[in-house]
């Protein structure tokens, strides 16, 4: 798929007439108002991916177990640097050390130590995703905790979704009012009911849940990056829901 097609943004406006809508009298002014909800969805191709990778090592000697883990983490970071990932786009996220005892041994005979560490890598070139993942596994990564495709232009697409959502609400109000023999006047109130979701990654070991300020979710499907690639990142779906009230004339 060429770059131009990758840059296309597919837009879907959801106008569900089955959503809540009502006509009521306001207590103070005596005006008739109509309240409606409007929803919209903007779908975009992701332009970065976050990998959460874990390394687990075990040895009877704590120092050796930690040294083994450090070595694998260093090799993983080196593999990412070889693919032009900046140092600022990598960080160690979690480290844990746990003694391991013989199962069923009442005396709790110590077998050794388990050392676990997680490294988070932000990859800006999605075309290098498969190479990075393969290199990381070859470097000694034992767990892939999470892979999250994201967009760096979230604000632009979210604002676009907001404009579409309020337009959908107004069109719904006009339709319902017209069918009731009325006309829609000025807006009395407008509010955002909800939008998207927060991007996140989870770590089995640390119980960590990190909000990325990313109001987007990944859809299943979408075209692969290249014709000979097994990567299919799909699209990021940014959803917005608003509620609005209009004076009826």
* pLDDT one-digit tens code per residue, 81-117: 999 999 999 998 889 999 999 887 677 889 999 999 9
69 pLDDT higher than 90: yes
- pLDDT for position 9: 39
Unique residue bearing structure tokens 């930690």:
66
What is the reported pLDDT for 195? Answer: 67
Kindly list the domain boundaries of the chain, sorted by start residue: 3-46+152-248, 48-150
pLDDT at residue 66, as a whole number? 97
Residue closest to 188 by CA, chosen among 79, 25, 17:
25
Q: State the Cα–Cα distance between residues 51 and 132, nearest whole angstrom.
A: 10
pLDDT digits (tens, 9 = 90+) for 126-169: 899 999 999 999 999 999 999 888 888 888 988 999 999 999 99
What was the pLDDT predicted at 104? 76
Question: Residue 119 CA to chain centroid, in angstroms?
Answer: 18
Is the pLDDT assigned to residue 61 strictly greater than 50?
A: yes
- For 214-235, what is the mean pLDDT? 43
Q: Where is pLDDT greater, at 212 or 178?
A: 178
Mean pLDDT of all residues belonging to the chain:
78
CA distance 226 to 2: 8
% residues pLDDT > 70 (the chain): 71
- pLDDT at 108 (0 to 100): 82
Pick the CATH number of 3-46+152-248 from 3.40.50.12780, 3.40.50.300, 3.90.700.10, 3.30.110.170: 3.30.110.170
Q: Quote the CA–CA distance of 57 and 150 in Å, as a whole number.
A: 31
Looking at residue 106, its pLDDT comes to 75
Q: Using the predicted structure, report yes or no on whether residue 226 has a pLDDT greater than 70.
A: no
Same fold yes or no, 3-46+152-248 and 48-150: no
pLDDT confidence of residue 43: 85
d(CA 6, CA 82): 25
- With vertex at residue 62, the alpha carbon angle to CA 57 and CA 67, rounded to the nearest 5 degrees, is 60
What average pLDDT does the segment 162-177 reach?
93
Report the share of the chain in percent with pLDDT over 90: 53
What's the CATH architecture for 48-150? 2-Layer Sandwich (3.30)
Q: What is the structure's pLDDT at 201?
A: 41
Residue 45 is predicted with a pLDDT of 84
**Cα–Cα distance measured from residue 143 to residue 120, given in angstroms and rounded to the nearest whole number:** 12
pLDDT digits (tens, 9 = 90+) for 9-43: 333 333 333 344 454 544 445 789 999 999 998 88
Distance of alpha carbon 9 from alpha carbon 46, whole angstroms: 10
User: Which pLDDT belongs to residue 234?
Assistant: 66
């Amino acid at each position: 798929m060429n770059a131009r097609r990758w840059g296309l943004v597919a837009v879907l406006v959801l106008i569900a007439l089955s959503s809540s809508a009502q006509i009521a009298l306001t207590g103070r002014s005596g005006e008739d108002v109509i309240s409606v909800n409007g929803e919209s969805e903007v779908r975009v191709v992701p332009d970065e991916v976050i990998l959460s990778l874990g390394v687990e090592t075990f040895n009877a000697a704590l120092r050796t177990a930690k040294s083994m883990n450090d070595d694998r983490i260093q090799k993983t970071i080196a593999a990412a640097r070889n693919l032009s990932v900046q140092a600022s786009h990598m960080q160690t996220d979690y480290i844990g050390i746990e003694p391991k005892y013989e199962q069923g041994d009442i005396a709790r005979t110590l077998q050794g130590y388990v050392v676990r560490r997680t490294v988070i890598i932000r990859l800006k070139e999605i075309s290098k995703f498969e190479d990075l993942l393969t290199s990381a596994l070859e470097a000694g990564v034992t767990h892939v905790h999470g892979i999250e495709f994201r967009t760096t232009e979230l604000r632009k697409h979210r604002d676009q979704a907001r404009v579409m959502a309020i337009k959908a609400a107004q069109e719904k109000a006009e339709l319902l009012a017209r069918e009731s023999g009325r006309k829609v006047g000025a807006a009395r109130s407008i509010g955002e009911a909800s939008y998207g979701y927060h991007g996140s990654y989870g770590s089995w070991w640390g119980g960590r849940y990190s909000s990325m300020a990313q109001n987007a979710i990944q859809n299943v499907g979408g075209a692969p990056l290249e014709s000979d690639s097994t990567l299919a990142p799909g699209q990021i779906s940014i959803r917005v829901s608003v509620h609005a009230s209009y004076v009826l004339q």
